[in-house]
Amino acid sequence: MKLGVIKEPRVWLYGSENMDIADELFMGWAVGIKEATEDWCKVITHYGYSGYVKKSAILFMQTEEIRYRDNSGQMAVICRRAADVLAEPRVQGRILATLSKGAFVKILSETKNGYRKVEMADGRKGYVPCIAYRSRMDADGYLYEKDREKYLREQKMLINEEVFRESVTKQAKEYLGTQYRWGGKSAEGLDCSGLTFMSYLFCGILIYRDAALKDGYPVKKIPINQIKKGDLLYFKGHIAMYLGDGKYIHATGNEKSFGCVINSLCKEDVDFREDLRESLYAAGSIWIR
């Protein structure tokens, strides 16, 4: 299978030839090319999600190039809601591109005035504030490992359980107030599984992108009464992250919220959502002993 990376700041992944939006991909994200026409590519993402992307948005690469960048230690992820890549390491510098939270860049050696020189997937080089990025924790092994399901199922944990639970809930809370957007995963707009997916990605774990438990991924079903902070709640057609004390965070299209908010499972709380409590059917966790 041929591989490539997204070379535009962000693109839509369409779920079918009817062009229904299914997902959002960011600059630097790797994809496998299943089929290609003059204008479109049918791809599979580095987390196992399939769809169609404009061919012009993809930079084709060799498998060994993708493997090398995984092991280079140079890949970073934008961690601010947005970050301008500037032609010079100063605030007055010309803006080359504006990258969304979640975009990947290659970190170069030069640091000046609180800026770090980076290389974008389209080959252009510029500067971003040092506080606007952090080391990438996930990887692209799904696209080149022989046993793909095993790769996703057995992703290595680099931090301990309690630290992870604190970190993943912190990541989710950074999206509070973001508007709801079907298929979105950016700080401009995201949907329910976009929120949970991105929160886990920033902690190094790739989970299923939709609002369902799926075999072959690291999240496994657990009894709802055993749920802990950072675990996931599954409702009919919806997903949320548990925060503890009966609270959960989610991105909802409900007309009273229309965005990323915190609600409660407890009837006595003012932010209780009875409709969701009644449709709750499962809980999931990556921490299965």
> Would you please indicate which residues are annotated as catalytic (active-site) residues?
192, 238, 250
Q: Which residues contact 239 (CB under 8 A, 6 or more apart)?
A: 192, 193, 196, 211, 212, 232, 233, 250
Compute CA distances 127 → 118, 230, 251, whole Å. 6, 34, 32
With beta carbons less than 8 A apart as the criterion, state whether 134 and 144 touch.
no
Q: How far apart are CA 204 and CA 95, in angstroms?
A: 30
With beta carbons less than 8 A apart as the criterion, state whether 196 and 213 touch.
no
Beta strands at 30-36 and 2-6: parallel, antiparallel or unpaired: antiparallel
Q: How far apart are CA 157 and CA 155, in angstroms?
A: 7
